[in-house]
Amino acid sequence: MSKKYNPYQSMLNVLDKAAEKLGLTYDDYVCLRSPERELTVSVPVVMDDGHTEVFTGYRIQHSSSRGPCKGGIRYHHDVDLDEVKALAAWMTWKCAVVNIPYGGAKGAIKCDPTTMSEGELKRLTRRYTAMILPILGPEKDIPAPDVNTNAQVMAWIMDTYSMFKGYAVPGVVTGKPLEIGGSLGRAEATGRGVMFTVLNLVEKMGLDKSKLRIAVQGFGKVGSVSAKLLNEEGFKIIAISDVSCGLYNEKGIDINKAKEYADNNKNLLKGYHEEGMKEITNEELLTLDVDILIPAALQNQITVDIAKKTQAKIIVEAANGPTTSDADEILEKRNIPTVPDILANTGGVVVSYFEWVQNAQFFMWDEKYINISLNKIMKKAFDEVWQVHLDKKVTLRMAAYIVALDRVASAKKIRGIFP
């Protein structure tokens, strides 16, 4: 990821344009150009060999105008404050686009979790939780898994918070294990939401899914599930990749076998092979001749250079912020429809909302009901964004921002500015 590119500035560029399209004055939305709260903490951890390492942690709350702040926590060696600020803001817009009563937040620790033991990760997580404890809570700010974090990490956060409170508080995080209040369908929710988004888009554009070829960049929690579910729906996946390598097979990849291999191989996809398959680079995958490209890795993957060379007919953003703002302009000029992250990958936060509601109700919903409810919410959101896209003759990204900003700015206006 290039550090020359500021993702928060990119978010602001789109926000300002959306405000202009909505006819908002600067005063109407100026509060949304800055996070409500930025917390940077030092996280000392006694490592396995006895020495103490101090890590930097962040928790950013962008907006609480529509409800408690919501957003994941990522562990990554390349994370910085601007990235977390952008991710927090994108969470605000995601929650507003799908019309769930949350604001946006995000957290991160600057570390390389691949070099750390489970004990070190547990101590890191518990100390980080203690450091951000004053701003956490089911009514304040509810973390969830993100890059390099999972249900186990959420369990440690939930337990740490509960120990300080003196009683179990399952609703302080989502994406937990089922045994301590997690929700059925949560692990697959983001990927399932991407699948629903692709189906909604194909229906709107009148395309035949059996003839469409898809490339998925990133074969982790989101990309692998998206690929698997789309494959089951009759789409042909011809390219996949992760940090280890990219794979291409013109005839289509057996996604179930590839996923099983990656899940059980320390080198991930590296070494996986099918007849007719060849290894490709990340850039080759992003510029393949495909009908739909799904970037499901990290941000800033579709740069100006990639945007000029990509042969994809449609892009569906499963990752957060995978397209730089200047690359987005090129895609618009090239008439390549791009379904933005704040719409396409909202499945995770929708089912996180379901989990939070279940925790508040002390009641567990069945998975069929959860998936039907997710589909219903995502279809309604897609239809609303599509209508704005047609009515205002704007890109799908701009349409999604318009829908989201309208809701958040209205909530802010109704509540007013304290005091």
Other CB atoms within a 10 A radius of the CB of residue 273 amount to 12
188-205 b/e with 16+ CB inside 10 Å = b?
bbbbbbbbbbbbbbbeee
Q: Which of 70, 106, 110, 122 is catalytic?
A: 106
Of 132, 140, 138, 130, the residue nearest 171 (C-alpha): 138
- Structure-block tokens of residue 330: 């090129």
Q: Cα(268)–Cα(56) distance, rounded to whole angstroms?
A: 28
88, 71 Cβ separation under 8 angstroms: yes
Q: Where would I find the beta strands (DSSP E) of 149-270?
A: 213-217, 236-241, 246-248
C-alpha span between 193 and 371 (Å, rounded): 9
Rounded Cα–Cα distance for residues 178 and 364 (Å)? 10
Concerning whether 106 is annotated as a catalytic residue, the answer is yes
Check if the beta carbon of residue 14 is closer than 8 Å to that of residue 401: yes
Cα→Cα distances 153→52, 79, 315, 399, Å = 21, 18, 31, 35
Instruction: Return the half-sphere exposure (C-beta side, CA atoms, 13 A cut-off) of residue 237.
Output: 29
Residue 74's SS3 state is strand
Report phi then psi at 315, rounded to 5: -120, 130
Cα–Cα nearest to 136, from 190, 57, 32, 29 = 57
Cα-based torsion angle of the residue sequence 109, 114, 118, 119 in order, rounded to the nearest 10 degrees? -60
Contact 381, 210 (CB under 8 A): no
Asked if 343 and 197 touch (Cβ cutoff 8 Å), the reply is yes
Residue numbers annotated as active site: 106
